[in-house]
Amino acid sequence: MRPFYRLICAGLVALLASAPGRGQPAECSPDAELTYLCGLQKPEDLLAVPGTSWLVVSGFAKGAGLKLVDARTRSYRQWYTGEESQLAPDAEAFSDCPGRPDPALLNTRGLSLRPLAAGHFRLLVVNHGGRESIEAFDVTLEQGKEPNLLWRGCVVMPAGQVGNSVAQFADGTMLVTVLTRPGTTIGDFMLGRKTGAVWQRGPADHQFRLLPGTELPGNNGIEADPDQRRFYVVAFGWHAVVVFDRKDTRRPLARISAPDFMPDNIHWTGGHLLLAGMRLDEPACGGLRKVVKGEADPMLCKRGWIVGELDTGTGRIATFAYGTPRQQFNGLSAAALVGRELWLGSFQSERLGIAGGPEARDK
């Protein structure tokens, strides 16, 4: 773990950042470990746009949609509004898409960003608002301006299947995790039972297909490897990452445990493969998450937050950053690096957490 993050996460140094962004309420004040950007609606996943100060943030609530965050000014705005200027449907690539997503319903979860050309990216978004789908957007960069967003189309999930996270390969193949298939529960995967799977759809396909062997206890975060051969799936019930070869998924290549936390999302960011989640054995919450009469504890009790880094060469997850339970921030689910700042998403809170600040970023 880098010294900068060790200091912050152990709580041995004073907060580095100044006051929160413009217009932030008093209850958004920094605490001993984190600063905050408040007013977001359950920012379950987030991605840093490479080489910029911009982040794309999802919102796991009806109408929360997509947010565009400027890490330098600590400000954000609603990004997808459904205006005509943001619509450029590709009828050939997304011929079975029923139409644009309704911004009043857009409920977003997992995110994936893939470079198409210099300053041009494909953004995939898991949507639960109005339909269970993967929404596709183009993101383009122009120096000195905000990134531009264009909706290009969608693919609808198989009947009864609810997407959780999404990843994509350079050839346009998308992978989507399903946490719980119909008839299974969170309690099931917490007890180690297989509840989910990975679904794949190639650029020439007209439907998703389930990848055999990818059925795991709570398929959660997913990420593709730059080698274009492997992909990584978080098995939430095992608090582990399972590695697959995309050419033959019937037997996983490896299962890598995260010994002290429950990973949620997994993303490449700033050259690191980071996983984020809540502390596994939290004394303040009575230890391990419990399942009582088949019902899993909803984890409303404040747990410590942990970001791990997966070393793909050694197959080991090391602690990248960590902190103690925060009164105003719980449910850590994603992490992204912007310079020296570590931005933290949550599936429960109405804010983003930030470890670090301007002084650290400029060193």
Q: What integer best gives the mean pLDDT of the chain?
A: 91
**280 band by pLDDT with thresholds 50, 70 and 90:** very high
Give the tens place of pLDDT for each residue, 41-91. 999 999 999 999 999 999 999 999 999 999 999 999 999 999 999 999 999
Secondary structure of the chain in the HEC alphabet? CCHHHHHHHHCCCCCCCCCCCCCCCHHHCCCCCCEEEECCCCCCCEEECCCCCEEEEECCCCCCCEEEEECCCCEEEECCCCCHHHECCCCCCCCCCCCCCCCCCCCEEEEEEEEEECCEEEEEEEECCCCCEEEEEEEECCCCCCCEEEEEEEEECCCCCCEEEEEECCCCCEEEEECCCCCCCHHHHHCCCCCCEEEEECCCCCCCEECCCCCCCCEEEEEECCCCCEEEEEEHHHCEEEEEECCECCCCCEEEECCCEEEEEEEEECCEEEEEEEECCEHHHCECCCEECCEECCCCCCCCEEEEEEECCCCEEEEEEEECCECCECCEEEEEEECCEEEEEECCCCEEEEECCHHHHHC
**27 band by pLDDT with thresholds 50, 70 and 90:** confident
Model pLDDT, residue 26:
66
pLDDT of 295 over the 90 cut = no
pLDDT of 336 over the 60 cut = yes
**What CATH number does domain 3-156+258-362 carry, 2.120.10, 3.30.70, 2.40.30, 2.60.40?**
2.120.10
Model pLDDT, residue 294:
84
pLDDT of 173 over the 90 cut = yes
pLDDT of 11 over the 70 cut = no
